[in-house]
Structure 1
Amino acid sequence: MFGEEYDVIVVGGGHAGAEATAAAANMGSKTLLVTMNLQTIGQMSCNPAMGGIAKGQIVREIDALGGYSGIITDKSAIQFKMLNKSKGPAMWSPRAQSDRMRFAEEWRLALERTPNVDFYQEMVNGLLIEDDKVVGVRTSLGLEIKGKSVILTNGTFLNGLIHIGEKQFGGGRAGEKAATGITEQLTQLGFESGRMKTGTPPRVDGRSLDYSKMIVQPGDEKPEKFSYSDTPILKTQRECHMTHTSKLVHDLLREGFDRSPMFNGRIKSIGPRYCPSIEDKINRFSDKDSHQMFIEPEGWDTVEVYVNGFSTSLPEDVQFKALRSVKGFEKVKFFRPGYAIEYDYFPPTQLKHTLETKLIDNLYFAGQINGTTGYEEAASQGLMAAINAHLKINEKEPFILKRDEAYIGVLIDDLITKGTEEPYRMFTSRAEYRTLLRQDNADLRLTPKGYEIGLAKKHRMEKMEDKLSKSKSFVEFFKQTSVLPEEINPILNEIESSPIRQSDKMFKLFSRPKVTMDHMLTLEPVTKFVKENNLNNEVLEQTEVQVKYSGYIAKEKVNADKLQRLESVKIPPNFDYKKLNSLSFEAREKLTAIQPVTISQASRISGVTPSDISVLLVYLGR
């Protein structure tokens, strides 16, 4: 059945696996996607949404590099919001509600239309290893499929165990069996593994809810989109709603705490800190009598509804009784109860920055197997693993994004240098250069890099260059053009900003905090320039950011360049840290285990102090 050798074999068809398959194939690798169920490629296992705080930036970065997640989201979106618009542009984060069924369908169709992709439905329960190098996979039917590289994207399926109250059963997610064999083989090969937990809320029948008792949560009046390509913008949107738990709801939930796997010791692993279950919220925040719940439709046509904020593993009867006491849920009907799931992961300090394992050549991990949580984090890792697998088997230099270049770079660097003992979720606060890593400029930052490695296509590069050229000329227009007091003062008076007494450059006035692009567009010379140069909303947004935040951006770039000096100081491979007695014991231990490639990476390892870095710099002649 499989006489030929594949360039890249991807195990698992979730967000990481789908993105990895697309990237490897689009770069020219003969790629095989092996998954337990071809009907669940790109499945949204938890909430029907993409993006959010920092996660939206990641989706934009995937798109800018030539990945598919942004395109798929735009094609299946039912609502769009730009979060944090009241704050500075470094915090603006796009988020879209998706049609769950159409999202998965669009992923399946996109992969089927991608040349170089083959599919096979079966469980992979082992790897073929020769001389510390992966050479293929073995399936549950005993088939051996040869491959030059393998990317494991197993999600929550590795020895997955589902908990609902006191009941527990094997499974990778509701209705699907767990994957076995891989963890056992990898631990025998010397890998360290651990267990993590995540959970999901009940799904309910939207026809049984009383939305009149809830607060409407509409999308943006002028919705944007994720992809920088020519995907459609939403013309109509579905509403979400918000309601709250109450003291009564909390008391009803507490009645089941003695049967909760979280509190009776059945679940021993750590769950996501920033997405706690409802019972965890009640326990941790006992002073609060109410928590928000967001009621999210699962698609355009389905009546199924996702109850965001009510993730739980309590017994199903407790879930039902408590939920019926929530305002608007008095007559609720369940589609399925919420549950928790425990699964195997491998501490990511065992990986290189390319996501290749240190122990086995050409074997890559991506997604929840690395201890992360979230579709976006998984998809970005799948993309990066595939890029590096393709480059390595073609004997090309690895592709590594630095912390000042992308949130994807921050994510991978955090995992590799710091590791994680709880499901890792990306936040804007994790990026020290978030003013540089905005959602509006992901194409300017990354499309040239994606084009250079052969992933982003020529039309993307041309579109990015056109946007860059037009925004630069528009900024220059504001620097060169003056405005008279009688033209600008009515605007300044309206927003309670000091009027001017003589003509001044538009750039200087536009830089004022309360002056917006909408204000500037009321000026005839600005409107004329926009029409004559055919400037779109992306150019207008980019120009406004460059004018208003140029000082902050320049300052952060200087700081990033300082860090880059340490990034250029390489540490020899397999460096023997034990011979440096001046290093602290903890530093020697951590540095030996993680084997950082540069001084900058070494400085970010927890337990490595500034004095340890000084010792290394002295030894390396710096």
Structure 2
Amino acid sequence: MKFNYDVIVIGAGHAGCEAAVAAARLGSKTCLITMDMNKIAQMSCNPAIGGIAKGQIVREIDALGGEMGLITDRTAIQFRMLNRSKGPAMWSPRAQSDRNKYIWEWREILDRTDNLEIWQDSVKELIVEDGVVVGLTTLWEVTFNAKCIIITAGTFLNGLMHVGKVQLPGGRMAEPASYFLTESITKHGIHTDRMKTGTPVRIDARSVDFSLMEPQDGESDFHKFSFLDTGEKRLDPLPCWTCYTTPECHDVLRKGLEDSPLYNGQIQSIGPRYCPSVETKIVNFPDKDKHQLFLEPEGTDTNEMYLNGFSSSLPMDIQLEALRKVPAFRDVKVYRPGYAIEYDFFDPTQLTHTLESKLVKNLFFAGQVNGTTGYEEAAAQGLMAGINAHMNCVGGQEFVLGRDEAYIGVLIDDLVTKGVDEPYRMFTSRAEYRILLRMDDADMRLTPKGRAIGLVSDERFALYESKKAHIERLMDFATNYSIKGEQVNATLESLGTTPLKHGCKLIDLLTRPQISFANIQDALPKFKEEIDKIENRKEEIVEAVEILIKYSGYIERESQIAEKTKRLENIKIRGKFDYSKLPSLSYEAREKLQKIDPENIAQASRIPGVSPSDINVLLVLIRK
């Protein structure tokens, strides 16, 4: 049996789903191949979306026309804005979702998407002719012909799970691993390696003493992930809970270290630095007698709860005994233990910025197979790979985002330029232009770009244009509206800020940290009247304008720096040098540049081991 498609996506996790929907909506005949249609977009670890820097990525996915933000809003059982005590560049939305409802929301989207079909099977072999991928075969001996293929297989490639000394093959608990595909890829010269991740024990809520834990409630203001109206389809909110490990708990964990796969040599793969197992915490921080734990609900219709902070691959009996040394869990019952999993990934420096392989044309990689960790990072890569696979099919222009345009641009540039020596996780500190990449203006940055390629709907673009017009009108009013001391001095004194001695423009007053739209508008009826003209999404628009006014100086300065860097991005060097024959470069620079073959001078400057003096040499040579 044979089938013909434009784009085939292998794997229906967060990367695969975004990739398939994007390619299909843009017009490519698309097939999504998955081993289990009931586990589409499964949240293998915590059923939570967003967090520091990750929340910004989700808003960017949404602004471009992706689905993760919309589905999260519809299935959220708790929403919080992290880092509120810091500036708006650091604000990061996070939501706890209902795991099962999230899956079925995604399934509905996939089933309703034109040009998209789903096939349940496991891929055995890629078909490559003259360095171009042209199809694949499956375990059921079905042949699929395709113009482009996107691999988003997550942790399933030769997956191996560990609980103590017990090892079981699998991509997730109770789900089989994917064999043969890695070997089919590497025989074309693509390098692979192994990574490790882990997940905590799942707890029965009926066995927890919640009176010994602190509740952590969500927020209910206007903030959410999607810039679209997600309507009234919201779930009842649920609290999360916090407590701490104890010295007695640590003693039990230490007792099990000799049987830990992480410390007895059983696991040799690269593990995550920023999401360590509980046994790693007690080894790396022996002076700490407690570590915080977060008990988080899995959904509205289940007693299953996720114990964030207690990821482990220790033997089952050790995990359970250690848990019972925490007062709230003294009678705890669990659904399954925590476990570690090893899996294959592919060196992302072998990819271009479109996520296409440099070695096999029309073959794309996205998600954890590129060495990343996190649903958000995976979904972002999937969206970009889906767009660019479609572009390859129709001969369109590649779609790439710069580091000053999106966290997605930072993510992909880091992967293809620097590679990974541990599972890659996005942080705000990775972005040098984070004041430009705030979560509040993701639509202003990216929705026009999504519209230009055809992914943004009429509804979304109309909302964007309306919001943009309201922002411009309010900014214009604040810039030109003059105020006098007698109008506002009583209010200023009550807020602890200096009264006006002379008149000024409203925008100058709003730059003061003590002054906000909310606490000054009653003193200025005309200003309040302008705000009240906004009928829909008033809070969102007011917040956006207030941020633009208060941080205008920082935004302008960072924009100027980004513009200077762009000049280096315009100096193209790919294919212009045989770096191995440039003795004026350092040996390390020659080696790294030859391997990565950067697109431009700016990318070359970000490669570890390429020094400023090496960049100066390249600039001199390019001028010649």
How many residues end up aligned between the 2 structures?
Answer: 621
Using the TM superposition, name which of 224-233 and 366-375 deviates more.
224-233
Partner of 1:111: 110
Partner of 2:270: 270
**Cα distance in structure 1, aligned partners of 2:242 and 2:489:** 42
How far apart are residue 175 of structure 1 and its match?
Answer: 0.6
Kindly provide the amino acid, as one letter, of the partner of residue 339 in structure 2. Y
Q: Is 1:529 aligned to 2:506, yes or no?
A: no
Partner of 1:129: 128
Partner of 1:256: 256
Partner of 1:609: 611
Q: Secondary structure at the match of 1:96?
A: strand
Output aligned runs, 1:463-478, within 5 Å: 463-478=463-478
**Cα distance in structure 1, aligned partners of 2:427 and 2:132:** 35
Partners of 1:349 and 1:594 within 8 A in 2: yes
Partner of 1:18: 17
Q: Is 1:90 aligned to 2:89, yes or no?
A: yes
Q: Secondary structure at the match of 1:280?
A: helix
Output aligned runs, 1:205-604, within 5 Å: 205-232=204-231, 236-523=236-523, 524-534=525-535, 536-573=538-575, 575-604=577-606
**Cα distance in structure 2, aligned partners of 1:163 and 1:150:** 31
Partners of 2:77 and 2:235 within 8 A in 1: no
Q: Residue by residue, what CA displacement relative to the aligned partner does 1:146-185 show, whole Å, maximum 9, x if unpaired?
A: 1110000010000000000110110001010100111112
**Cα distance in structure 2, aligned partners of 1:405 and 1:205:** 44
Q: TM-score, normalised by structure 2?
A: 0.98
**Cα distance in structure 2, aligned partners of 1:431 and 1:42:** 27
**Cα distance in structure 2, aligned partners of 1:556 and 1:327:** 49
Q: Residue by residue, what CA displacement relative to the aligned partner does 1:178-217 show, whole Å, maximum 9, x if unpaired?
A: 0011111222221111110000000111111111111111
Shift in CA distance, 572/351, structure 1 to aligned 2, threshold 3 Å: closer
Partners of 1:77 and 1:98 within 8 A in 2: yes
**Cα distance in structure 1, aligned partners of 2:429 and 2:192:** 28
Shift in CA distance, 40/515, structure 1 to aligned 2, threshold 3 Å: same
Q: Secondary structure at the match of 1:39?
A: helix
How far apart are residue 547 of structure 1 and its match?
Answer: 0.7
**Cα distance in structure 2, aligned partners of 1:272 and 1:606:** 20
Using the TM superposition, name which of 409-418 and 482-491 deviates more.
482-491
Using the TM superposition, name which of 491-500 and 401-410 deviates more.
491-500
**Cα distance in structure 2, aligned partners of 1:174 and 1:145:** 29
Q: Secondary structure at the match of 1:307?
A: strand
**Cα distance in structure 1, aligned partners of 2:283 and 2:574:** 49
Using the TM superposition, name which of 177-186 and 487-496 deviates more.
487-496
How far apart are residue 574 of structure 1 and its match?
Answer: 6.3
How far apart are residue 223 of structure 1 and its match?
Answer: 4.9
RMSD across aligned C-alpha pairs, in angstroms?
A: 1.3
Partners of 2:598 and 2:604 within 8 A in 1: yes
Q: Is 1:8 aligned to 2:10, yes or no?
A: no
How far apart are residue 236 of structure 1 and its match?
Answer: 4.4
How far apart are residue 438 of structure 1 and its match?
Answer: 0.5
Partners of 1:574 and 1:595 within 8 A in 2: no
How far apart are residue 331 of structure 1 and its match?
Answer: 1.4
**Cα distance in structure 1, aligned partners of 2:148 and 2:554:** 43
**Cα distance in structure 2, aligned partners of 1:569 and 1:227:** 36
Partners of 2:574 and 2:598 within 8 A in 1: no
Q: Is there any run of 5+ residues in structure 2 with no aligned partner, and where? A: none
**Cα distance in structure 2, aligned partners of 1:18 and 1:604:** 31
How far apart are residue 614 of structure 1 and its match?
Answer: 1.0
Shift in CA distance, 249/369, structure 1 to aligned 2, threshold 3 Å: same
Identity fraction in percent: 55
Q: Residue by residue, what CA displacement relative to the aligned partner does 1:211-250 show, whole Å, maximum 9, x if unpaired?
A: 1111111111415210111113758421111111111111
**Cα distance in structure 2, aligned partners of 1:70 and 1:277:** 29
**Cα distance in structure 2, aligned partners of 1:177 and 1:346:** 20
**Cα distance in structure 2, aligned partners of 1:222 and 1:66:** 24
Q: Secondary structure at the match of 2:250?
A: helix
Q: Residue by residue, what CA displacement relative to the aligned partner does 1:483-510 show, whole Å, maximum 9, x if unpaired?
A: 3334423332233211223433221111
**Cα distance in structure 1, aligned partners of 2:235 and 2:105:** 19
Shift in CA distance, 158/388, structure 1 to aligned 2, threshold 3 Å: same
